[in-house]
Amino acid sequence: MVSRVIPVEDFDLVIFGGTGDLARRKILPGLYRRFCSGQMPETSRIIGAARGDLDDAAYQKLIGEAIAEFVPRDRQDKDKIKAFLKQLHFVPIDARGEKGWPDLAKLVRKDAVQAFYFSVGPGLFGDLATRLHDHKIAGPQSRVVVEKPFGRDLESAKALNAVLADSFDESQIYRIDHYLGKETVQNLMAVRFANVLFEPLWNAQYIDHVQITVAETVSVDGRGAYYDKSGAMRDMVQNHLMQLLCLTAMEPPSKFDPDAVRDEKLKVIRALDPVPADNIVRGQYGAEGKVASYIEHSENPETKTESFIAMKVDISNWRWKGTPFYLRTGKRLKARMSEIVIYFKETPHSIFEEDAGSHANVLTIRLQPDEGMDLRVTIKEPGPGGMRLVDVPLDMTFADALGPDAEDVPDAYERLIMDVIRGNQTLFMRGDEVEAAWKWTDPIIEGWQTRGDKPMPYEPGSSGPEDSLMLLHRDGRRWREIRK
């Protein structure tokens, strides 16, 4: 199988926060990989903009070191690195002042695609947007990319949307969620809408329940003060898990078009029921050996912020009424694992003996660490002695299925940045979508704050608080195991 690489138009990409961690770890190493794949025109330019007093040579050296650190050694080519670094420029800039803006205005070309990546805190979005507009750097065809967190509640999200709307049209704004750039997430849409096998069964009549898990092994050490102001609900559920839920539950769009897809996702969010307190389990990881607890990492002994949350969510529409969605995410869990699991109902009547057991089909979509999917089907166990049924997976792991081409599959940031250059907003959140998500989220957070609920402690390296297991057990179901 040969990967089909489609070059993009000539572009100037300005990365505000171009010396920051995200730019060094993800954005620029990803762009280097796209350059190596022949997707970036050699005349395109990447312009780092930050407070540091670097020149082009110093910035190229900094990013060269980042590529050496964050790109696998077997993917590093000295000649290509050298050619890629020649496309990099740097402008020292003051987001809240006038320093650097005239220089940036001279550097950015009017005859190329213009994209501006706000790899900075949301408090600077308004300043950057206003100065890009006032200095006539950005025009009607420019694109602006903004990172999460996009607000911390409905009111702040509306304020950010309004700030951006003062300088840019909604069609120019790309609110990035890197989960939507994952190959398997997009394959979820392909599995649903390109296969007659699944879509007729994709509803409450045939699906018993859905589990969405994003488990992490890392703690919040080093960012505890920041995380303590957000927690798992704001940091993960309101955006990442919400997007996965929407893609799983949405109606078929009329066509694979940015607004058609996002219209259907918005309908899902608006159909979400309020979540009662007894359908929510929150937790905080404790200490383990020399590894500190969440309370120690947050440096706040009175903290009630959750590092884990599990929820039972219901969607009130014709397709999903009666089929619950169970969401779960947390830090310091047993393993790093992100997946969507579709549990189909058992057959209405089994023709086999009781000792054959009960069986149901399960579709698992693995987002990380080993991207792929498998469908569990029931077959006869080989051998004599009667009809004994066993479940076996029909497995499709990308690394196995694609062979050497798997190495050329873009990671999430690579894909999404190229979509920005192409002007394709399908995998980006729209303003009304973000606001609808906060409108559903705010009452849930307000509820536990009003009640004064404290998160339950859980052991690091576990699957979370014991009560999260009971969330499913009381419904006669079980969480899929978080596997190492």
Instruction: Find all residues with CB under 8 Å of 112, minimum gap 6, and list them.
Output: 9, 10, 11, 12, 44
- E strand or H helix at 363, and its extent? strand 362-368
| φ and ψ at residue 382, rounded to 5 degrees | -60, 145
Q: How far apart are CA 259 and CA 182, in angstroms?
A: 20
β-strand 308-313 against 325-330: which pairing, if any? antiparallel
Task: Find out whether 231 and 306 touch, Cβ atoms under 8 Å.
Answer: yes
In 3-state terms the chain splits into helix, strand, coil percentages (rounded to 5) of 40, 20, 40
Instruction: Give dist(CA 484, CA 335) in Å, integer.
Output: 5
In whole angstroms, what is the distance from residue 79 CA to residue 129 CA?
36
Residue 84 and residue 32 in contact, taking contact as beta carbons nearer than 8 Å: yes
Count of CB atoms within 10 A of residue 7's CB? Answer: 13
Structure tokens at 479: 């969480």
The identity of residue 125, as a single letter, is F
Q: What distance lies between CA 217 and its chain's CA centroid?
A: 17
Yes or no: say if 465 and 176 are a contact pair by the CB < 8 Å rule.
no
Strand 456-458 relative to strand 280-285, pairing: parallel
Catalytic residue among 89, 178, 209, 240: 240
Q: Annotated catalytic, 89?
A: no
Give the C-alpha distances (Å, rounded to integers) separating 52 from 13, 56, 99, 118, 225. 18, 12, 12, 16, 25
List, in sequence order, every residue forming a beta bridge with 395; answer none if it has no partner: 374
Comparing CA positions, the residue from 177, 324, 344 lying closest to residue 249 is 324
Reply yes or no: is the peptide bond before residue 149 cis, omega within 30 of 0: yes
Active centre residues (catalytic): 240
